[in-house]
Structure 1
Amino acid sequence: MPTVQAWTGCETRALRQALRMSIREFAENLGVSERTVSKWEAGRDAVHPRPEMQAALDTVLSRAGSEVVDRFVAATSRTAPQHSPVATGFRVQSHKFIPAYVSAPTTPGLAARDGFHRRPHEWLDVSIVELPHAEGTCTAHVFACGVVVLHVVQELHFRTLAALATWRYTTYEEDVPWAADQVMGLLSPTPSTDHVAPEYVLSMYVLQESAWGDGELENALRLMSLPSVLVNRHATPYPEPVDDHVERRLLAQGFDQPSVQPFGVHGVSLGYASWAGVAYHALSPERALRVDDLVSCEVDVQMLWAYCRHIQRQVEDGRDPAMPPEFGWRFLRAAHSRLTTARARETAQHCMMREATLSTSGLPARLVQAQTALRETASLSGRVDT
């Protein structure tokens, strides 16, 4: 009987196919959802089921007949990794940013709890706390203005970019409700009536190892920043990767997408940003941006995006937006200036990264709109000069 040291999505798929089962049948056999099985298989080598599911998969394999075992061994032998760590694909560090508005009066109580500690920030109080995550690490950034940003980090290994793109779309369906549960857990036992559940996930990928040559590497980063071109999102029941030949053609020839903006420095780094996410690779790590610099910028952008979205939601509901005075239109005016104006000691790399991230996010326009809405409300109430 073969032994699997650690089940990944690849072995899981091989076992299901060896059993001649559909995803639905296999999920019912294990007692999990179809979406969970699809997520395992889309994640390939990068996804490791939880310990209890590892044990369940061991049991299924141990009870299988000899023909099933033979098919499983043959399939896993064909897909076994080679000696080179990048010969079968690439390694990437995935960063997911999931913001939610929880209201400003709520955050002081959160920040005062055990486990929270202050994070240095230039212009806004923020506290952080570590949250459990089954397949990576998660840090909750609690901002004084009333926004929580969950930052999830996962180490991934994929054979193709299409596999990464499919994993992204598949896992996002679970990330949003999971994040909502985490935020509700932070707010318990007194959730705010103004609390808004997370609506979206923004990704950043930091490429660590790859087998792409110089001619394909830039195209690979561009595809990472805008992965929708590698996924059939209309496939049922779940998104599916495009054929390998499509990815090979895009890597070799590139693709024209004006919404993707570069921010790398020749010989130092490759960086691309789009509305869907950010991709970065340090060619010269000692001179390139630190990952913390990229994360800090994205956390701030997503925090302000969620804050402005809450104001926009009030306007669309036909209400005059009401926010605490210290986080009113002057706060947004200051935030807009800090994000869009270069600092005296800021490097060219920082400026390019920040400008690309801001322009593709659409945040500057949202800041202006939210600032205008709050100022109009303040004018109507007589708090500012008209």
Structure 2
Amino acid sequence: MDMGTSGMDRGTSRADTGTTAAGRTPNRVLEALRRSRGWGRPRLAKEMHLFCQARQWPSPGEENIRKQIYRLESGQVRNPDAFYRRLYCQFFERSAHDLFGGINQTPDSAAFTLTSHKFIPAFVGAEAAASLAKNCSRAVDQWTDCHEVPVDDMEADGVCTLYVWPHGTVVYHLVEDLTPKSIAEIAVWRRTSYPRHIGGVTQNLEEITGGTLADPPYVLSSYWVRDLPLDGLNRETALRLLCIPRVLTSDGAEIPSLAHAELIEQALMRDGFDHPEIVDFGMRGISFGFASWSGVVYHPTAPGRALAENDLIACELSAQAAWSYCNYIRSEVERGRDPEVPEKYGWRFLRGVRSRLTTERPQETSQHRSMREAIIETSGLSRHLGQAVEILKEAGQ
């Protein structure tokens, strides 16, 4: 990794500098971090120099680092260049937002890295779910009661967990770490992998339950974006595209063209992209968050203050489990039949699920509430739950 040129004073290169001493605001965060270790500026400069050497980064040298430490702590430089920003962030294990306070920091990474979460729900019925749960352990930190077990035979480059709810819904949660070169690459990969996952889940469930699924599974994707080498409007546009990636592959081809998808991406990145389906649930200076019918995207820019990845996963798991159950009830009605469900999972049960997913919790933060409301709204789950409650009431269940 090219961290700079050895022996050069990189103190003010492309940095945001103060113009007068009177207008400077000292960075008390950086000063406090240094003092918490009992170090003066020369000692911190030496440790940072050794830090660079240990990672085989070209170091500017102790003296140049010491000068920059003074400039940053005194407020002479408010926002350092990429070298010192990365050095400070990795040395103190803090985000640029935590250390320098800016809400539009230039990305620290040149790589695009993310974690793909695919949720693949299916309804198997309460009896089959009870049988499956015998081989599972109780899941922890979930919004609604369920069990979980690892799945080893899914054809994917990731980790898969099967979640089982007692009312008869199961959700396969497939986690895959990706380093794509473009949003178009994700869009094509998503389009081509969905049929394979749906087929794999259908076969797996029919083998372990010994029955045929009433309705085929579907796939809902969420993307936890760790690094995105874009800033400003380009970053937001890229995340919005990732929220509805089908706009890049809507050419009708059975196997979408990556080259064509990249052309569309380039045009939309140039002209900007928005969509009426997208609901923004990010928090300025802390995160970008977007939800749509197609999926959910979250990019924490201040990880220490943003939502945790498990928060998003727990919300999606319970939301998709409820959606799949409601979808079974709707499908039975459209087949001309009354849905048959155990009494304890009838309309009163669904009324409780609706309350859990749509009502604020006493200790819920504004970020959690915004995430939950965006996911519920874009999935149509609130309406779906209300309809299912009325159907089961009419059927005496």
Counterpart for residue 37 of structure 2: none
Q: C-alpha deviations, 1:277-304, integer Å up to 9, x for none?
A: 0011010111111111100100111101
Q: Write out aligned runs for 1:217-228 (5 A).
A: 217-228=235-246
Following TM superposition, by how much is the alpha carbon of 1:316 offset from its aligned partner in structure 2, in angstroms?
A: 0.6
Change in Cα spacing, 1:200 to 1:243, as seen in structure 2 (3 Å) is: closer
Counterpart Cα distance in 1 of 2:190 and 2:237: 19
Counterpart Cα distance in 2 of 1:373 and 1:197: 18
Change in Cα spacing, 1:93 to 1:124, as seen in structure 2 (3 Å) is: closer
Which of 201, 207, 211 is residue 229 of structure 2 equivalent to?
211
Change in Cα spacing, 1:369 to 1:151, as seen in structure 2 (3 Å) is: same
Counterpart for residue 274 of structure 2: 256
Which of 189, 196, 199 is residue 167 of structure 1 equivalent to?
189
Counterpart Cα distance in 1 of 2:320 and 2:261: 33
Q: Write out aligned runs for 1:181-196 (5 A).
A: 181-187=203-209, 191-192=210-211, 195-196=213-214
1:336 aligns with 2:358: no
Change in Cα spacing, 1:121 to 1:314, as seen in structure 2 (3 Å) is: farther
1:96 aligns with 2:114: no
Change in Cα spacing, 1:123 to 1:268, as seen in structure 2 (3 Å) is: closer
Q: Write out aligned runs for 1:236-275 (5 A).
A: 237-241=254-258, 242-275=260-293
Following TM superposition, by how much is the alpha carbon of 1:215 offset from its aligned partner in structure 2, in angstroms?
A: 2.4
Counterpart for residue 202 of structure 2: 180
Radius of gyration: which is bigger?
Answer: 2
Secondary structure of the 2:339 match is: coil
Secondary structure of the 2:395 match is: helix
Q: TM-score, normalised by structure 2?
A: 0.69
Counterpart Cα distance in 2 of 1:249 and 1:123: 41
Whether the aligned pair in 1 keeps the contact of 2:286 and 2:302 (CA below 8 Å) is yes
Whether the aligned pair in 1 keeps the contact of 2:249 and 2:261 (CA below 8 Å) is no
Following TM superposition, by how much is the alpha carbon of 1:86 offset from its aligned partner in structure 2, in angstroms?
A: 5.6
Gaps (5+ residues) in structure 1? 1-83
Following TM superposition, by how much is the alpha carbon of 1:334 offset from its aligned partner in structure 2, in angstroms?
A: 1.1
Counterpart Cα distance in 2 of 1:243 and 1:288: 31
Change in Cα spacing, 1:173 to 1:266, as seen in structure 2 (3 Å) is: same
Counterpart Cα distance in 1 of 2:388 and 2:141: 23
Q: C-alpha deviations, 1:84-117, integer Å up to 9, x for none?
A: 9964x5111100000010101222222112xx21
Aligned residues: 288
Following TM superposition, by how much is the alpha carbon of 1:210 offset from its aligned partner in structure 2, in angstroms?
A: 1.9
Secondary structure of the 1:93 match is: strand
Following TM superposition, by how much is the alpha carbon of 1:197 offset from its aligned partner in structure 2, in angstroms?
A: 4.9
Counterpart for residue 120 of structure 1: 140
Amino acid at match of 1:221: L
Secondary structure of the 1:318 match is: coil
Secondary structure of the 2:179 match is: strand
Whether the aligned pair in 2 keeps the contact of 1:94 and 1:153 (CA below 8 Å) is yes
1:298 aligns with 2:320: no
Amino acid at match of 2:355: S
1:277 aligns with 2:309: no
Gaps (5+ residues) in structure 2? 1-106
Following TM superposition, by how much is the alpha carbon of 1:178 offset from its aligned partner in structure 2, in angstroms?
A: 0.7
Counterpart Cα distance in 2 of 1:252 and 1:342: 39
Q: C-alpha deviations, 1:171-212, integer Å up to 9, x for none?
A: 11211001112222432xxx356x435431000011112211
Counterpart for residue 136 of structure 1: 158
Sequence identity percentage: 41
Following TM superposition, by how much is the alpha carbon of 1:245 offset from its aligned partner in structure 2, in angstroms?
A: 4.2
Counterpart Cα distance in 1 of 2:199 and 2:215: 8
Secondary structure of the 2:354 match is: helix
Whether the aligned pair in 2 keeps the contact of 1:137 and 1:154 (CA below 8 Å) is yes
Counterpart Cα distance in 2 of 1:261 and 1:110: 36
Counterpart Cα distance in 2 of 1:148 and 1:222: 29
Counterpart Cα distance in 2 of 1:304 and 1:319: 20
Q: C-alpha deviations, 1:302-322, integer Å up to 9, x for none?
A: 101110111111101111122
Secondary structure of the 1:144 match is: coil
Following TM superposition, by how much is the alpha carbon of 1:124 offset from its aligned partner in structure 2, in angstroms?
A: 4.2
Change in Cα spacing, 1:215 to 1:122, as seen in structure 2 (3 Å) is: closer
Counterpart Cα distance in 2 of 1:200 and 1:327: 23
Counterpart Cα distance in 1 of 2:143 and 2:249: 40
Counterpart for residue 13 of structure 1: none
Q: Write out aligned runs for 1:45-124 (5 A).
A: 87=110, 90-113=112-135, 116-120=136-140, 124=144
Counterpart Cα distance in 2 of 1:123 and 1:277: 19
Whether the aligned pair in 1 keeps the contact of 2:143 and 2:315 (CA below 8 Å) is no
Amino acid at match of 1:93: T
